[in-house]
C-alpha cells in the first residue's frame, strides 16, 4: 500500500503520472473517491505517462473514451451506471483483457466485475485542496 498526500491538482496529476510509469499492458486501475476528489486529474497524469496528447476529460456521458498513446488508454466513468451487470453489458471484456490500460472512475459501480489484478486507487478529500491518495496493488490486498 502506498499513501500520498497532495496539496493541489498538479501534485495529484504527478502521482498519476508516476503510477502510470509503472504500468504494463493489461493493467486495470479502479479509482474511487467522491465527486470532485480528483479522479479525472489523476487520470490525466496517467495519460501523460502514456504519452497521450489529446486532452483527457471525464467521460461521464459517454461512459468510455479511448485514447491512443504508447499503450491505449480506456478511460471509463461509471457514475451513471445502474447495476454491476450493466458494466459487463458495455462489452468491456475486450478492453480489460487487452493490451491497453483500463482506468475506471467510480469503479465501485462495477461491483465484483473487475479482474483480480486490479490496482485500486482511493482519493479522499482533506479540506479544500488536500487529498489523501491510497494505492493498493492486488498482491498486497491478498496479503
Ligand X SMILES: Nc1ncnc2c1ncn2[C@@H]1O[C@H](COP(=O)(O)OP(=O)(O)OP(=O)(O)O)[C@@H](O)[C@H]1O
Question: Which residues sit at the interface with ligand X, rule CB under 6 A?
Answer: 6-9, 11-12, 33, 35-41, 58, 105, 129, 131
Q: In whole angstroms, what is the distance from residue 80 CA to residue 71 CA?
A: 27
What secondary structure letter does DSSP report for 110? Answer: G
In angstroms, what is the minimal distance from the CB of 124 to ligand X? 11
What is the enclosing helix (H) or strand (E) of 109?
A: none
Continuous segment of H or E residues that includes residue 87 = helix 84-89
Smaller CB separation from ligand X, 129 or 140: 129
Nearest to 75 by CA among 91, 93, 60: 60
Q: Candidates 8, 18, 58, 88: give the one binding Mg ion (CB under 5 A).
A: 58
92 binds, among ligand X, Mg ion, none (CB under 5 to 8 A by kind): none
Q: Considering beta carbons, is residue 122 or 131 the nearer one to ligand X?
A: 131
Q: Indicate whether 102 belongs to the interface with Mg ion (CB under 5 A).
A: no
Amino acid at each position: 500500500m502506498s499513501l500520498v498526500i497532495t496539496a493541489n491538482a498538479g501534485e495529484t496529476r504527478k502521482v498519476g503520472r508516476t503510477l502510470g510509469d509503472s504500468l504494463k499492458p493489461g493493467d486495470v486501475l479502479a479509482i474511487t473517491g467522491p465527486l470532485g476528489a480528483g479522479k479525472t486529474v489523476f487520470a490525466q497524469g496517467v495519460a501523460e505517462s502514456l504519452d497521450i496528447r489529446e486532452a483527457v476529460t471525464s467521460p461521464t456521458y459517454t461512459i468510455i473514451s479511448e485514447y491512443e498513446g504508447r499503450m491505449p488508454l480506456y478511460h471509463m466513468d461509471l457514475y451513471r451506471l445502474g447495476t454491476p451487470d450493466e458494466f459487463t453489458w458495455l462489452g468491456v471484456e475486450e478492453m480489460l483483457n487487452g493490451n491497453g490500460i483500463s482506468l475506471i472512475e467510480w469503479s465501485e459501480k462495477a461491483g465484483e466485475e473487475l479482474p483480480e489484478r486490479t490496482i485500486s486507487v482511493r482519493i479522499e478529500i482533506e479540506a479544500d485542496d488536500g487529498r489523501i491518495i491510497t494505492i493498493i496493488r492486488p498482491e498486497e490486498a491478498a496479503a
